Amino acid sequence: MKPKKWWTVYWTGWVFAGFLIPELFAVFDKGTSGDTFSESLWAALRTWPLLKIPIVVLLGWLFHHFVLDRRSKRKR
């Protein structure tokens, strides 16, 4: 299955604009703390400890989807 160009552009832009740019800004901004994704997630886990369950499920699914799923390994 060949990826559709516009969806590839969308997902690439979403990852960069929605995650990498804010994360890199937070990492290199020495004046504040608590603004990286991991710091925000740790704060949420202190408030809602049961949030660990859907996070573990999501990470397990992502691992399966990106590493183990045979559909992603087919030759195109």
Task: Evaluate if residue 53 carries a pLDDT over 80.
Answer: yes
Domains of the chain: which residue ranges? 5-73
What lies within 8 Å, CB to CB, of 5 at 6+ separation is none
Q: What would the mean pLDDT of 5-33 be, rounded to a whole number?
A: 87
How many percent of the chain have pLDDT more than 90? 39
CA gap 24, 8 in Å, rounded: 22
Question: Is the pTM value of this prediction over 0.75?
Answer: no
